[in-house]
Amino acid sequence: MKNYSQIIRHSGNASLFDILDVSVTGSLTGTPIHIHAEGLRGTGKTTIIRAYKEVLPKINRIKGCLYNCDPSNPHCPEHYNLTSEEIEKIGVERINMPFLEISPSAKKGSVVGSIDLKKISSKESPEAALLLGTIPKAHRGIVFIDEINRIADTSPEIVDLLLDAMGTKPGRIQIEEAGLPVTEIPVQVSIWAASNPDEDPGPLENIRRQLSDRFDFTVNVERPLDTCVINRIFSDEVLNVVNTATIQKTKEFLEAKKNINRFKPTQEIRDLLASLYVNYGIESLRYVEAALLGTKIRGALLKRNPNIEDVIFITRYALRHRVEMKDLNNILQNLEEKKSLIKKDSISVETSIQNENKLPDSTKVSEINENKNKNSKTFSFDFLKKLLQRFVPNAESAKSSNTSSTAPNPSIKAPPQKALPMDKLKITEYVKTEEDLIK
Ligand SMILES: [Zn+2]
């Protein structure tokens, strides 16, 4: 089993590292982020996921609490109504952020928990007690499920409780026992799953679309294609590496936690995500939620305000399981075009708008009809105008703040008079003699 420092990052697996980083930071800051890694056998997706166990930071919990109660926000039946003084008396301990696994053969009771029948039927001191399952035990941490597509196919009861645990942030689970009242507890667990869509029973989205949609991000992991990468994987240098990368990674998560509210998606980014949702007819609002969270956390990890590059990066994985591949490519291409527009100066942006305006009317109509539902070209034009209104004045004011109020609107190129149809005009207004033209 390879440790984190020994895994070579390459173009086929780099995005999984980046998305797992987002999820760890989310867990650390109180928001679970669910990840599904898809890839063929041998791509190393489960090795990477399991190696993350080493880099997870420590968390504080109320001493001895099996539910991992956060001392500042206790949730378990034993601690949720205690005062801070009472919690202080019990004490606080540091534990590793939980990383637990659910195996393909797991049963509902072991995943969610059960009522401890031994304690409740004790003659001396009968008491209600819960035997915690994997999910509540992993509160504030990670649960990994390998071969999620097989579980979705064979264990509908596990799928149902995953839907509950992943349905809201935080989620919830219900512990049931015949004849006893149902116990419901909140759970804040990031679910990480892996599957090989080419093996039986096929891709998760074809088996349980609802479960597939609960994952915030789906990442495709591929084999390395570069011989240099293969050589590095087996080099002595890598096999004997010390764990500096591990320590560094843990530090990054703690830094990102400190910065979590420092860099937020701007209104432009929020509008951009909302417009993608509306204009491309994306079915799930979870896309917008995942993308907003993802860009915010990426900002904290990279210590800068999230920008359009982060939107492109995050959208790739937030939409992979939610739209057809050709639509995803269209959306990404559209975003790439916007990125280059934002980078160019206002003159080139103006030129491209004028070019769009030069399209004959018939072309525009046919475009609208062609793209009635997924009108990328029309959308791109409208968006350009909005971008100009938002970004161009800002860009100019950044260069010279005292001219910003007088900066001309570059998109207006029309005569001041209102246009009238020909039949409302006198003939002399549109038929000119040679003399008139010379004047
Ligand atoms: Zn507790």
Q: Is position 191 within any domain?
A: yes
Gap from CA of 142 to ligand 1 centroid (Å): 18
Q: Is position 421 within any domain?
A: no
Gap from CA of 251 to ligand 1 centroid (Å): 27
154: domain CATH number? 3.40.50.300
Residue 34 shares a structural domain with residue 160: yes
Gap from CA of 138 to ligand 1 centroid (Å): 13
Q: Is position 438 within any domain?
A: no
Gap from CA of 74 to ligand 1 centroid (Å): 6
Q: Which residue has the higher pLDDT, 240 or 61?
A: 61
Q: Which one of 258, 284, 308 terminates a domain?
A: 258
Gap from CA of 254 to ligand 1 centroid (Å): 23
Tokens coding 284: 């799930």
Q: Is position 194 within any domain?
A: yes
Gap from CA of 135 to ligand 1 centroid (Å): 15
Residue 236 shares a structural domain with residue 374: no
Q: Is position 90 within any domain?
A: no
For residue 114, what are the β-bridge partners? 131
Q: Which one of 258, 290, 323 terminates a domain?
A: 258
Residue 157 shares a structural domain with residue 208: yes
Tell me which DSSP letter residue 412 carries.
-
Residue 237 shares a structural domain with residue 146: yes
Contact 170, 32 (CB under 8 A): yes
Tokens coding 392: 């161009």
Residue 225 shares a structural domain with residue 353: no
Across 103-131, average pLDDT: 79
Listed residue (228, 73, 240, 51) closest to 140, CA to CA:
73
pLDDT in tens, 223-248: 988 888 888 887 777 666 667 888 99
Q: Is position 115 within any domain?
A: yes
Across 143-158, average pLDDT: 95
Gap from CA of 96 to ligand 1 centroid (Å): 16
Q: Give yes or no for residue 72 having a pLDDT over 90.
A: yes
As a whole number, the mean pLDDT across the chain is 82
Residue 210 shares a structural domain with residue 294: no
Q: Is position 202 within any domain?
A: yes
Peptide bond into 186 cis (omega under 30): no
Contact 330, 282 (CB under 8 A): no
Q: Give yes or no for residue 437 having a pLDDT over 70.
A: no
Across 39-49, average pLDDT: 94
Question: What is the spatial distance between Cα 88 and Cα 78, in angstroms, rounded to a whole number?
Answer: 15
Percent of residues, the chain, with pLDDT higher than 90: 58
Gap from CA of 63 to ligand 1 centroid (Å): 8
Tell me which DSSP letter residue 70 carries.
B
Residue 229 belongs to domain spanning: 4-57+97-258
Q: For the whole model, what pTM was predicted?
A: 0.77
Across 192-207, average pLDDT: 95
For residue 252, what are the CA distances in angstroms to 35, 160, 246, 390? 20, 35, 10, 33
**Strand pairing class (58-62; 92-96):** antiparallel
Residue 225: the pLDDT is 85
Residue 45: the pLDDT is 96
Gap from CA of 23 to ligand 1 centroid (Å): 24
- Total domains present in the chain: 2
Instruction: Give me the residues near ligand 1 (ion), CB cutoff below 5 Å.
Output: 65, 67, 69, 76, 79
Gap from CA of 391 to ligand 1 centroid (Å): 49
Residue 9 shares a structural domain with residue 49: yes
Residue 176 shares a structural domain with residue 193: yes
DSSP string, 325-336: HHHHHHHHHHHH
Gap from CA of 159 to ligand 1 centroid (Å): 26
Residue 141 shares a structural domain with residue 254: yes
For residue 173, what are the β-bridge partners? 185
Residue 240 shares a structural domain with residue 321: no
* Number of DSSP helices (H) and strands (E) in the chain, helices first: 22, 11
Q: Out of 122-126, 150-154, 286-290, which region has the weakest mean confidence (pLDDT)?
A: 122-126
Q: Give yes or no for residue 130 having a pLDDT over 90.
A: no
Residue 319 shares a structural domain with residue 381: yes
Gap from CA of 60 to ligand 1 centroid (Å): 12
Gap from CA of 418 to ligand 1 centroid (Å): 71
Q: Is position 415 within any domain?
A: no
pLDDT in tens, 296-322: 999 999 999 999 999 999 999 999 999
Q: Give yes or no for residue 420 having a pLDDT over 60.
A: yes
Residue 104 shares a structural domain with residue 210: yes
